[in-house]
Amino acid sequence: MKRELTLIKALLFGAFFLILGVTQLFAFEMVLGKTEVYLDGARENVRSRETNLGNLICDSLVWISGAKIAITNGGGIRESVEPGDITLEAVLSIHPFSNEVVTIELTGAEIVAALEHGVSTYPGWGGFPHVSGIKYSFTPDRPAGQRILEVLYEGKPIDLEATFVVVTNGFLAAGGDAFEMLNKEIVDSFGPMEEVLINFIREKEVVAPEVEGRITIFRIETFGDDS
C-alpha cells in the first residue's frame, strides 16, 4: 500500500510539472502585439548605430515615466524580432536581465558627458547610447572625450546648465559600464524594462518604429578636419 501511495505521488508530481511546462510554453507564445517592420536588435548594430528597436525601447521608457529624455545602452538589447507577431518570448529575449527602469536628474552638461562616454569606445561596446527626446551627432575619428559634435533638445542645442529628468535603466544609474555621471539618486522607478516594453506594445497593438536621425555619425572627411 505504501509503495502504491508513493507511486501515485510520483505520478501526480510528474503530471503537475508537465502541466506547468505546457502552461509556461503557452505563456511564452502569448502574442502581445504586432510589428510591421523588422526590429533590429543585432549585436553589431545596437552597439554602433541608431536602430529602430533602440528607438522603440527608449520611447517605451519615456511613455512609462513621463520623462522628456531617455538614454539606454545598446548592450541591454539582445535580440531582433521579425515582422509579424511579437510574443512574450521575443520581448524576454530582447531584455533578459530584468533591468529596472528609473528616473534621475541630470544637467545638460552631464547628459553630454554621458553621450561622450558612450561613444568613447566605438564601435562594438555595450555602452553605446540609444536615446529618445534628444538627438546627437559624433565622429569616431577624433580622440575619446572629443567626439560629440552636437546634442539637440527640442531642436536646439541642449542647455548645459539646465536640469532634466532623464529615464534610464538601473544598471547605468548605478554607474555601470563606467557611466559615473549617471550614478545619481533615483527619483522614481517603474518596473523591469521587459515589463515596460510588454505594456507599451500592448498599448500600441501595432508598432512600426523607424531610424529617424536621432544619432548621426560623421567621418572627418565628411566635414573636414578643423581640430
DSSP 123-164: TT-TTPEEEESEEEEE-TTS-TTS-EEEEEETTEE--TTSEE
Quote the CA–CA distance of 144 and 153 in Å, as a whole number: 23
Quote the CA–CA distance of 28 and 90 in Å, as a whole number: 8
Q: Kindly list the distances between the CA atom of residue 172 and the CA atoms of 29, 73, 126, 157, 211, in Å, as whole numbers in the listed order.
A: 31, 8, 11, 24, 23
Per the prediction, the chain carries an average pLDDT of 89
Lowest-pLDDT range, 1-5, 57-61, 170-174?
A: 1-5
Quote the CA–CA distance of 191 and 169 in Å, as a whole number: 10
pTM of the model: 0.86
Q: Determine the average pLDDT of the residues in 16-39.
A: 69
Tens digit of each residue's pLDDT (9 = 90 or more) over 40-97: 999 999 999 999 999 999 999 999 999 999 999 999 999 999 999 999 999 999 999 8
Looking at the structure, give the CATH architecture of the domain made up of residues 31-107+123-132+163-211: Alpha-Beta Complex (3.90)
pLDDT beyond 90 at 217: yes
What pLDDT, on a 0 to 100 scale, did the predictor assign at position 1?
A: 53
- Percent over 90 (pLDDT), the chain: 81
Cell, residue 172: 547605468
* Residue with more model confidence, 97 or 194: 194
What is the number of other CB atoms lying within 10 angstroms of the CB of residue 14?
Answer: 10
Q: Determine the average pLDDT of the residues in 154-162.
A: 98
Domain borders along the chain are: 31-107+123-132+163-211
* Residue with more model confidence, 147 or 18: 147
What pLDDT, on a 0 to 100 scale, did the predictor assign at position 168?
A: 98
Tens digit of each residue's pLDDT (9 = 90 or more) over 195-212: 999 999 999 999 999 999
What pLDDT, on a 0 to 100 scale, did the predictor assign at position 227?
A: 42
pLDDT beyond 90 at 155: yes
Quote the CA–CA distance of 216 and 80 in Å, as a whole number: 22
* Residue with more model confidence, 187 or 1: 187
